[in-house]
Structure 1
Amino acid sequence: MQAKTLVTGVIGADTHIVGNRILSTALEKAGYKVVALGALTPAGDFIKAAIETAADAIMVSSLYGQGEIDCRGFRDLCVEAGMEDILIYLGGNLVVGKQPWREVEQRFLAMGFDRVFPPGTRIEDVLATLAADFVARDRGERLDATLPTPWATRQGAEP
């Protein structure tokens, strides 16, 4: 089977790149082909890169708390580009201030993200979730974002 292609990057005016580089390196070591866009990436650049590389998933990071602004309409852009079935993951410090994680997660799931990860999520949890989601998608099953991710199973409802 050919390696899955993933587009990674840090959205909007966010310059926090270290975690995204760590994730990209781990994804490559796990056998994925990674197209790393780096920091300060407009939403449209994720979509363009996904089209150009026939990506299987887009993994968006945001650490400066402006995720609600930067990620608004992201799924719509994918649909408009003919990629309605692409997996879209989001992770990081997505909102300003301390808010209940489940509320934050639900907000971004409602925006069309398939998975939303809190700050401090372990790389192995992302890898396990991604692998399981690809298996489900390849079987033609719909993803159920309400199923607990490994971090939720280990830590309870709040990260």
Structure 2
Amino acid sequence: MTKTVILGVIGSDAHVVGITILEQAFEAAGFDVINLGVQSSQEEFVDAATAHDAEAVLVSSLYGHAKQDCEGFHQKVADAGLEDVTTYIGGNLAVGQDDFEETRKFFRQMGFDRVFDSETDPEDAIEALRADLDMRSSESEQESHTVSA
């Protein structure tokens, strides 16, 4: 079964090259990719995830304002009943970003399952998503099986 991922650049960011590379890499890896393109709103991510029954939402931001652009994002995800959707964010997420571990911690606290810097190889993100989706599939399969004595 093909996994569907929503991919886009959030906020006012218009950096298209990275998202195009990610789209091609995820498609080549067998994912069904819905690319929202650049300057996508939080609502567009949530609406697309709902409409396409997506397993994952991948948010990109390269212009350094992701903290502002993602404020309240996971509340919108929860309000839409998408708590089981895996969420990733990656790029140059903060202006003057010196310590990426602090940035990673911030976005993890916001609710993102994984946080990547702008130097991440797409293959690393693909492998991480495969592992995360396989893990979630295994958990739901375990929960759906009942043992009869």
| TM-score for the superposition, normalised by structure 1 | 0.86
What corresponds to 1:99 in structure 2? 98
What corresponds to 1:82 in structure 2? 81
Mapping of 1:16-95 within 5 angstroms? 16-95=15-94
SS of alignment partner, residue 50 of structure 1: helix
Q: C-alpha distance in 1, partners of 2:105/2:122? A: 21
For structure 2, the 5+ residue unaligned runs are 141-149
What corresponds to 2:108 in structure 1? 109
What corresponds to 1:15 in structure 2? 14
Q: C-alpha distance in 2, partners of 1:34/1:127? A: 12
Q: C-alpha distance in 1, partners of 2:52/2:88? A: 17
| Mapped contact 2:9–2:39 kept (Cα < 8 A) | yes
Rg comparison, structure with higher value: 2
Aligned-partner residue type, residue 57 of structure 2: I
Aligned-partner residue type, residue 38 of structure 1: G
Aligned-partner residue type, residue 121 of structure 1: T
How big is each residue's C-alpha offset from its partner over 1:37-61, in whole Å with a ceiling of 9 and x where there is no partner?
0000011100000000000100000
| Mapped contact 2:97–2:103 kept (Cα < 8 A) | no
Aligned sequence identity (%): 44
Q: C-alpha distance in 1, partners of 2:103/2:33? A: 27
Q: C-alpha distance in 2, partners of 1:64/1:21? A: 16
> 1:140: how far off?
1.1
Q: C-alpha distance in 1, partners of 2:72/2:119? A: 25
Q: Which has the higher strand share?
A: 2
> 1:99: how far off?
2.3
SS of alignment partner, residue 88 of structure 2: strand
Q: C-alpha distance in 2, partners of 1:111/1:99? A: 19
SS of alignment partner, residue 9 of structure 1: strand
Q: Give aligned pairs, total.
A: 140
> 1:133: how far off?
0.6
Q: CA RMSD in A?
A: 0.9
| Mapped contact 2:8–2:58 kept (Cα < 8 A) | yes
Runs ≥4 residues deviating over 3 A: none
How big is each residue's C-alpha offset from its partner over 1:35-93, in whole Å with a ceiling of 9 and x where there is no partner?
00000001110000000000010000000000000011111111000001110000000
Q: C-alpha distance in 2, partners of 1:20/1:140? A: 30
Aligned-partner residue type, residue 111 of structure 2: G
What corresponds to 2:145 in structure 1? none
